Amino acid sequence: MHSILKVLALSYKNTPLEIRELLAFNENDSKSFLRNVKSMLGIQEAMVVSTCNRTEIYYASQQDLSSDLVKIMKIEKGIATSENLANYFESIVDSMEAARHLFRVSLGLEAQVIGDIQIGNQVKNAYQWSADEAMAGPFLHRLMHSIFFSNKKVVQQTSFRDGAASVSYVAVDYIKDLVNNFEDPKVLVIGLGEIGEDVVRNLGDHFKGEVCLTNRTQAKANDLAAEYGFKTIPFESFPEEIEKYDAIVSSIRADQTIIDKELLSEVSILRHKFFFDLSVPRSIANNIEEIPGVLLYNIDSIRQKANDTLEERKKAIPAVEKIIEDSIEELNSWSKEMEVSPTIHKLKNALEEIRQNELARHLKKMNEKEAELMDTVTKGMMQKIIKLPVLQLKAACQRGEAETLIDVLNDLFDLERQVKKEQ
């Protein structure tokens, strides 16, 4: 490919959560990092994709700058650990493979939950932050718009994005369906581990009612609630607060159930109340369904629905990969043509210089009308003359034979002189 695209990447596949947390980048972190790699390494084109499951640096360079990028990351994040973080990263230095990797990440093929729709928005944000820092060049612009177009084709032509495919997303999907007709629906989330946090983020993205969070560590509940404008209550007070909520999601880690029939016996059930137990071991006792108006959804039923959706998505993977390969082929063709664009530019300038010089020799002999006619005629001639060399250059690019033709044109029209004149 024309752009020497590379990627330095770590993901949930080989990196523990505590390391991913250390290297997670928000908008300010990403922009600061981009400014640093530009000033310290001279990189002119780069993008940072950072989610809870991955941190990836895409950059254009002739050299593999992986070790330098890891050092700047550690400085940026203030990481003093002696652990060799570079061991968690994979470096992809082949431009075609780096582009293909970004396609796969953006479209959800590399997501922890296959087909995850959130990653597409996260990549869009990363692209915007890169553009804000003037670090998105012609190749990255073209690559990203090709990805956006491919994403539309995946949605329109495949079942890859159909249905909810994670436990947290399924739970939120159930909640929306069950309380959709309630006036002022309210949800309480108990426990903010990895699953509980995912539930909160899905509620923040897809639920319009009131949401309240409670957690043994109050600071985490406060931080997450502030991010989405949600409420919090102290963990020890949730038993008295349950009555206020229509849906209660528990993903708490506990040795025994924290919600049972006895706890709910004093609760006034004025309309249906829905409980979702995402904990292992279970944190909500099955006997709560003995109370009229109370329904319980456990991790097994929710996971089964997610698994059914995942199976359908997996069937669509070959169609998604075909869309990606078609897009990569188009991008590669465009990239090859970019290799000859400087030569085309110099050839046009050389022919225009000849045209202008010849016009200047005869202008004194022509009146204004004749001069305009001559200008029009010679422009048309130049466009016809240059058309075939341009087509031949582009065709030679696709065959991988452009270098010989470029040398011939350089010799015929002394194109290197054009470069010196422009400098």
pLDDT per residue over 171-188, tens digit each?
999 999 999 889 899 999
Band of residue 269 on the pLDDT scale cut at 50, 70, 90: confident
Residue of 22, 24, 52, 93 marked active site: 52
**CATH top-level class for 5-160?**
alpha beta
In sequence order, what DSSP letters do the residues of 301-342 get, joined into one string?
A: HHHHHHHHHHHHHHHTHHHHHHHHHHHHHHHHHHHHHHHHHH
What pLDDT is recorded for position 192? 93
pLDDT per residue over 145-157, tens digit each?
999 999 999 999 9
What pLDDT is recorded for position 389? 77
pLDDT per residue over 100-133, tens digit each?
999 999 999 998 888 887 788 899 999 999 999 9
pLDDT at 134 over 80: yes
The alpha carbon torsion through 128, 134, 137, 142 (nearest 10 deg) reads 20
Give CA 374 to chain center in angstroms.
53
The yes-or-no answer on residue 212 being catalytic is no
Band of residue 412 on the pLDDT scale cut at 50, 70, 90: low
Report the b/e string of 18-30 with b at 16+ CB within 10 A: ebbebbebeeebb
The residues pairing with 192 across neighbouring beta strands, listed in sequence order, are none
Element spanning 153, H or E: helix 138-157
What pLDDT is recorded for position 420? 52
What pLDDT is recorded for position 206? 86
Band of residue 364 on the pLDDT scale cut at 50, 70, 90: confident
- Cβ-contact 10, 20 below 8 angstroms: yes
Check residue 21 and report its DSSP letter: H
Band of residue 191 on the pLDDT scale cut at 50, 70, 90: very high
Band of residue 401 on the pLDDT scale cut at 50, 70, 90: low
Q: What does the block give as tokens for 340? A: 């000859």
Angle formed at CA 48 by CA 45 and CA 53, multiple of 5 degrees = 155
> What CATH number was assigned to the domain covering residues 167-308?
3.40.50.720
pLDDT at 88 over 90: yes
297 CB contacts (<8 Å, ≥6 apart)?
A: 171, 174, 274, 275, 276, 277
**How high does pLDDT run on average in the chain?**
88
- Distance from C-alpha of 176 to C-alpha of 167, rounded to nearest angstrom: 14
The size of the chain, in residues, is 423
pTM here?
0.69
pLDDT at 419 over 70: no
The alpha-helical segments, DSSP class H, found in 25-117 are 27-41, 66-77, 95-107
Closest CA to 320 of 160, 166, 118: 160
The residue ranges of every structural domain in the chain are 5-160, 167-308, 339-422
